[in-house]
Amino acid sequence: MVNASWQKYTPPFWSTLVASAILRVGLISYSEWHDAHSTVKYTDVDYRVFSDAARFLLQPNGTQLDNIARGPIARRLGLSSPYTRETYRYTPLLALLLLPNELLHPSFGKYLFAACDLVNGVLIYRILVTSLLPLQGTKSPAPLPGNKSQTTVKPQEASRNIEERSVMASFLAGTHLLNPLVFSISTRGSSESILCTFILLTLYFALKRRWDTAAILLGVSTHWKIYPVIYGVSCVATIASQTRRADQGHRLLRGLFGKESMRFAIISASTFFALGAICYALWGYPFLHEAFLYHMHRLDHRHNFSPYFYLTYLTYPGQGGGDLLEIPLWCRFLRSPLISLIPQLTLSLGLGILFGRQPVDLPFAWFAQTYAFVLFNRVCTSQYFLWYTLLLPLIALRIRSPWLCGVVWAGTQALWLAGAYGLEFLGENAYFSLWLRGLVYLAGHTWVLAKVIDDYAVSASYTGT
């Protein structure tokens, strides 16, 4: 049970939501003033790319000779292309959503992203209250803040205590809404919050076992950015597990190719390919290349958390790497973007199958999958951390040593950032040192993932899930 002092000092969810909205409006207003008076901009470069892409959509063909959509249908209609803007490597639907940047106000997109932040907070709250907290089981898996006792409650009593669940859900949703990483990214103009909304909606309907709706939303999410495709494995595994429980004669492998599992896969894939076909019909090969194919051969030699960056830097043309033919074959093999997919997808998909046991396990399965995907991605920046911290409030009660995990997670990042500061701002030749720090980051974050997995497995043994 949540003690009285904890309930007293936890504000109602609506007040947290209002405070979060005010905070974001204030930051967006400040960003307009800051950008007008400072050479170092608050607004992210990506936002200017989005805005330029939206502007190109509105320009007539005569404004710029190359600004013509390349799709077979669009050629007859004389449509313009967002891909006229170099480095725009997103779905054209994002540029369409940001047309009001040109028609209404330049900061419209920031307000849209901030509004999605608030929607995400509401979805986290609803998922906790309706699907996760009622199934916490017979013992609280971790002591709540301010409550040092470990209280045993009956499942019936826990399900009836709506007020307690609301208080805890308010606190956990608030950790997302008031997370500096979250509100700084959206108010600076990153579109990640839109994708987060699609992902949480997919999870919400999956937890309700409305698999057709979840499949459609997963297809939309994968169109928006390709990485959510990994969630399909855990969803299919969950459906297969349910089928297997209904008929004990089924094995997991047979369940993965069962009728319900295949229905989910077909609906999801059909949604993804239908959206892709529409966009290709309008914008042609530039859409296909920039939104998807580019990421298959992308080589980024700039320093980032990924341990792969150093080899890419050493062999990158213009960075001391020389001509591609002069690079040893084994170096070209190791730096290939496709090679990094082997550990990345093996872990991500394997964790999805391992933890996709029933719908209530999906938040943790998705967290573990995303964490592994980001950790072993060929390019890894702080913005990518939002992909899995989005799911952290949904599994927080299962983490038995949150402070220790948090210290290791943040500490290894701080070690890397200290080296990156010397390289970026002091001009030090610290590439090799930064790579070594990246290995420490990799080891530390791998330990955190292993610890969280162990905590979840232990807590599941007495929560009845």
Question: Does 121 fall in a domain?
Answer: no
Percent of the chain clearing pLDDT 70 (strictly above): 79
Question: Does 349 fall in a domain?
Answer: yes
CA distance 42 to 352: 37
Query: Tens digit of pLDDT for each residue in 238-294?
Result: 998 876 554 444 556 666 677 888 999 999 999 999 999 999 999 999 999 999 888
Question: Does 191 fall in a domain?
Answer: no
CA distance 433 to 417: 12
First CA to last CA distance, the chain: 19
- Considering only 101-105, 151-155, 396-400, which range has the smallest mean pLDDT? 151-155
- What is the mean pLDDT of the segment spanning 192-198? 97
pTM for this predicted structure: 0.87
CA distance 398 to 453: 9
Residue 141 is predicted with a pLDDT of 39
Maximum mean pLDDT: which of 34-38, 201-205, 458-462: 201-205
In one letter, which amino acid is 235?
C
Question: Does 122 fall in a domain?
Answer: no
Closest CA to 335 of 319, 358, 314: 314
Closest CA to 395 of 157, 172, 163: 172
- What is the mean pLDDT of the segment spanning 357-368? 93
Residue 67 is predicted with a pLDDT of 81
- Considering only 156-170, 257-271, 277-291, 376-390, which range has the smallest mean pLDDT? 156-170
Query: What's the DSSP call for residue 12?
Result: P
Residue range(s) defining the domain that contains residue 457 = 298-317+339-464
- Considering only 119-128, 217-226, 373-382, which range has the smallest mean pLDDT? 373-382
Residue 143 is predicted with a pLDDT of 42
Q: Which has the higher per-residue pLDDT, 295 or 21? A: 21
152, β-bridge pairs: 139
How is the chain split among helix, strand and coil, in percent rounded to 5?
75, 0, 25
Q: How confident is the model at residue 228 (pLDDT cuts 50, 70, 90)?
A: very high
Maximum mean pLDDT: which of 208-217, 285-294, 334-343, 431-440: 208-217
Question: Does 15 fall in a domain?
Answer: no
Q: Nearest 5°: CA angle at 452, between 448 and 455?
A: 140
- What is the mean pLDDT of the segment spanning 203-215? 96
Quick check: 4 pLDDT over 90? no
- What is the mean pLDDT of the segment spanning 369-377? 94
Strands, DSSP E only, in 304-455?
none
Average pLDDT for the chain: 83
In one letter, which amino acid is 426?
L
Inter-residue contact 421 to 437 (CB < 8 Å): no
Question: Does 244 fall in a domain?
Answer: no
Q: Which has the higher per-residue pLDDT, 167 or 328? A: 167
Question: Does 106 fall in a domain?
Answer: no
- Considering only 64-68, 98-102, 303-307, 399-403, which range has the smallest mean pLDDT? 64-68
- What is the mean pLDDT of the segment spanning 171-196? 94
Residue 380 is predicted with a pLDDT of 85
Question: Does 116 fall in a domain?
Answer: no
- What is the mean pLDDT of the segment spanning 4-30? 86
Inter-residue contact 127 to 95 (CB < 8 Å): no
Query: Tens digit of pLDDT for each residue in 281-338?
Result: 999 999 999 998 887 766 666 678 888 877 777 766 655 444 555 556 656 666 666 6
CA distance 90 to 365: 26
Residue 128 is predicted with a pLDDT of 95
Q: How confident is the model at residue 456 (pLDDT cuts 50, 70, 90)?
A: confident
What's the domain count of the chain?
1
Residue 129 is predicted with a pLDDT of 93
Percent of the chain clearing pLDDT 90 (strictly above): 54
Quick check: 420 pLDDT over 50? yes
CA distance 461 to 465: 7
Q: How confident is the model at residue 402 (pLDDT cuts 50, 70, 90)?
A: confident
Closest CA to 162 of 207, 130, 124: 130
Quick check: 465 pLDDT over 60? no
Q: How confident is the model at residue 194 (pLDDT cuts 50, 70, 90)?
A: very high
Query: Tens digit of pLDDT for each residue in 134-151?
Result: 876 433 334 434 444 444
